[in-house]
Amino acid sequence: MMLDPQLDADGNLIHLLSTEGLSREQLTRLLDTGASFLGVSDRDVKKVPLLRGKSVFNLFFENSTRTRTTFEIAAKRLSADVINLNMSTSSTAKGETLLDTVDNLCAMHADMFVVRHESSGAPHLIVDHLRRTGRSDIHVINAGDGRHGHPTQGLLDMYTIRHYKGGFEGLKVALIGDILHSRVARSDIHALKTLGAESIRVVGPQTLIPTDIESLGVEVHRDLDSGLKDCDVVIALRLQRERMSGALLPSATEFHDRYGLTHERLKAAKPDAIVMHPGPMNRGVEIDSAVADSPRAVILPQVTFGIAMRMAVMSVLAGG
Amino acid sequence: MPDLKNLPDAEQQIAALAEQLRPVFEKAPDTVLIGVFTGGVWIAERLSQLLPSHPPVGSVDISFYRDDFSERGLRPNVQPTTVPVDIVGKPVILVDDVLYTGRTTRAALNELFDYGRPGSVQLAVLADRGERQLPIAADFCVWPVSLQSDASLVLVRTPVDDSEGKLTWSLDDA
């Protein structure tokens, strides 16, 4: 069997690259640990000394203010030192390769890399490089790579669902909109499968749904009403217009008419269904303001839980 | 070595500890009890029932403050620390079941100070095993006991989920 790149020889989680391949026990342990950290952010001193003296490097090759900020807050609440590198304006722009950048940061005694990259697999490449060069004591967290995955977002979504629904058994979950470009969708689908959700639907226009997505064990719906029917959890995805080249979509208005979440359309879901969104939202496109600002929307709690989950991931990786 | 079959009655020891603490609460009625998870919290809850003023009880889980995190990692299901009243300037009695190396007490003090600056902190324990690795001593103690270094002395509650459950000692003589 091929060695899981996320695990060390003893089976401990030392990198987080994907929610795929994590066992139910590992996912549950991460969620439980996240619950422990939730209270830290409510205290006067919002800090615990777990990662005191450790250096966490945020390597963002692609802009993302929210994800970078929540990782920075999480690391600082664990007492780590955080160095933010905006790679689009740094040596990479001058021609340095990814692995040369990594080697240089290792020479600065980095303990953890948080990596966001436009290419799928970039964090995996860094893990392989660290293993080959005997520096597996440095931990890597994937903060979003291409269309592949965004595992900490997947974990915070699972935390949010468990918080509001109590568990995963019997749950019907719909992911709506731009599945094609969404690494969040992939991370959510793998985690939901492992945690035992009953039904996972992806809903959107044919052009925005990957052709082989059924192989992940999801139902494909082209029609929003059938996709939402009796759902417990509705996850709206951001329409990633900046990634769209060619004629994937007639117009944002037409998308909203067919797939935008409104109170009217949500009547197909269960009355107590929660609405989630990974942010940033396009109000009036994938979600109506009236829905986004309603009590059933748990979009801001997702952000709060995201900090606790990122603290949990960093602590579990660093603690082995 | 204590007789394995005849460990002392923990409930009686807690009553004795409450008697030791009674003058403290008569002198300073705003004193707060803070138990260290999990045994210390159970004892602090009992003490609050036994003391006439029924002082408020807080709890600390020291998992985020351990000095062996890099070797042992984080155990799952860390309990939330709760400090029910503002401890700034107040006398605090820190309560634990067993005092041994002193490292747990060190971690608990660090965590407590992240909630504010207490007026004073005193340490109350049921059992003191000696063999300290840090300059820490108990102010109130019922049972000084000497054990082999690999023995594990813990307080158990039966049933564990019942706040009225009976507290007893368990000695695992590894």
- Encoded tokens for A43: 């205290």
pLDDT attached to residue A113: 97
What is the DSSP annotation of B76-139?
S-PPPPB--S--BT-EEEEEEEEESSSHHHHHHHHHHHTS--BSEEEEEEEEE----SSS---S
Do the beta carbons of residue A261 and residue A255 sit within 8 Å?
Answer: no
Q: A319 and B63 in contact by Cβ < 8 A? A: no
* Least confident span in A36-50, A51-65, A111-125, B94-108: A36-50
In the predicted model, is pLDDT for residue A39 greater than 90?
no
> Testing the interface with A: which of B61, B68, B70, B111 to mutate, by most A Cβ within 10 A?
B70
* Closest C-alpha among A218, A214, A213 to residue A192: A218
pLDDT attached to residue A172: 98
In the predicted model, is pLDDT for residue A132 greater than 90?
yes
pTM of the model: 0.89
Q: Which residues of A59-68 are buried (b: 16+ CB within 10 A; e: fewer)?
A: bbbbebeebb
pLDDT attached to residue B9: 95
Tell me how close the Cα of A210 comes to any Cα of chain B, in angstroms: 37
ipTM for the complex? 0.78
Nearest CB to A44 within list B63, B70, B116 = B116
**For residues A41 and A152, which has the higher predicted lDDT (pLDDT)?**
A152
Q: Place A37 in a pLDDT band, splitting at 50, 70 and 90.
A: very high
* Model pLDDT for residues A81-126, shown as the tens digit of each residue: 999 988 876 666 677 889 999 999 999 999 999 999 999 999 999 9
- Encoded tokens for A194: 């492992």
Render each residue's pLDDT in chain B as its tens digit; 174 residues: 556 568 999 999 999 999 999 999 999 999 999 999 999 999 999 999 999 999 999 999 999 998 888 778 887 678 878 888 889 999 999 999 999 999 999 999 999 998 889 999 999 999 999 999 999 999 999 999 999 998 999 999 998 888 889 999 999 876
Nearest CB to A44 within list B64, B78, B115 = B115
> A12: nearest CA in chain B?
B73
pLDDT attached to residue A184: 96
Do the beta carbons of residue A269 and residue A230 sit within 8 Å?
Answer: yes
pLDDT attached to residue A244: 66
Tell me how close the Cα of A234 comes to any Cα of chain B, in angstroms: 28
> A32: nearest CA in chain B?
B77
Give B38: exposed, middle or buried? Use CB within 10 Å, 0-12, 13-18, 19+: middle
* Closest C-alpha among A31, A304, A37, A313 to residue A152: A313
Q: B74 and A316 in contact by Cβ < 8 A? A: yes
Tell me how close the Cα of B71 comes to any Cα of chain A, in angstroms: 7
Residue A53 CA to residue A57 CA, distance in Å, equals: 13
Give the single-character DSSP code of B160. Answer: T
Q: B64 and A48 in contact by Cβ < 8 A? A: yes
Handedness of CA A93, A94, A99, A104 (dihedral sign): negative
Alpha-helical regions (H) of chain A: 24-38, 65-77, 98-107, 122-132, 151-165, 183-195, 224-228, 252-259, 263-266, 289-292, 299-319
Q: How many CB pairs below 8 Å do chains A and B form together?
A: 48
